[in-house]
Amino acid sequence: MIYIGTSGYSYKDWIGPFYPPGTKDSDMLPYYCLHFNFVEINSSYYHMPSIRLFESINRKTQESFKVSVKLFKGFTHERTSNAAEAEKFNYSIMPLVESGKLVCLLAQFPYSFHCTNENMDYIKKLREWFKDVDINVEFRNQGWIRQEVIKMLASHSIGFVCVDEPDIKGLIRKVSALTSQVSYIRMHGRNDVKWYGGEGSERYNYLYNDDELAEWVPVIKNLDMKAKITVVSFNNHPLGKAIENARMMKKIIQANVM
């Protein structure tokens, strides 16, 4: 089953391009659900989430809706969080676990997270801390693309996140692998000019064309044949570009499946 959506949904600059003028923050998710069946929650990256957040998401989404939750930066970028904080995180996501809406946790590591034995052990530790849910790992550094890493992920049922991002030396582009029951694709855009030189979210300010999206169709279909669930998340969010591309990808996938 292929689910397509966006990385986050509560962007002010989506009012107009997607949300009707005057839409309140509290009304964004119910409106979003009318158009998509999956969303990636990324507010949990910036601060440890409370159970109330996911109780609210549960109430506002239909039974068939699916959600992935980005891990708090203390687990990925700062790596100062511990087992006790992992227990709190696990508690907060229980509403999604119990409703069956949780696809997985997303652990997105920075470019500075290099492929070392120590860091591989840290990823295994995350698997232990979040042993009762699926977890998928996104690397930004090309150094992780080696067979031993893929085997390690598969042996511990840790999912590999396939990414689309600029063709810049050191970054990862269009490497596909399935190492758990969850197939995860994240589309970041190809804004090579602003990837390092831009401010804020400028690096994600990019609109894919039909041909660029079509490149991923055989990859997605192949992964989905082997996975229990496949999610495609568009992170090129400035000015609603993620919405436009998610809609385009839905049409392309539907046309190629029928």
Mean pLDDT of residues grouped by 10 in the chain (258 residues)? 97 97 97 98 96 97 97 98 98 98 98 97 98 98 97 98 96 94 98 89 96 96 96 97 98 81
d(CA 127, CA 107): 10
How high is the pLDDT of residue 200? 83
How high is the pLDDT of residue 2? 96
How high is the pLDDT of residue 178? 98
Domain of 74 in residue numbering reads as 2-257
Tokens of 240: 């609603």
How high is the pLDDT of residue 257? 65
| Domains contained in the chain, number | 1
pLDDT (tens digit per residue) in 39-62: 999 999 999 999 999 999 999 999
Angle between helices 25-32 and 51-60 (to 10 degrees): 50
Instruction: For residue 82, give the CATH number of its domain.
Output: 3.20.20.410
How high is the pLDDT of residue 198? 81
How high is the pLDDT of residue 38? 98
d(CA 180, CA 185): 13
- What is the per-residue DSSP string for the chain? -EEEEEE-S--GGGBTTTBPTT--HHHHHHHHTTT-SEEEE-HHHHSPPPHHHHHHHHHHS-TT-EEEEEPPHHHHTS----HHHHHHHHHHTHHHHHHT-EEEEEEE--TT----HHHHHHHHHHHHHTTTS-EEEE--SGGG-SHHHHHHHHHTT-EEEEEE----TTS--S-----SSEEEEEE----TTHHHHS-TTGGG-----HHHHHTTHHHHHHHHHHSSEEEEEE---GGGHHHHHHHHHHHHHHHHH-
pTM equals 0.96
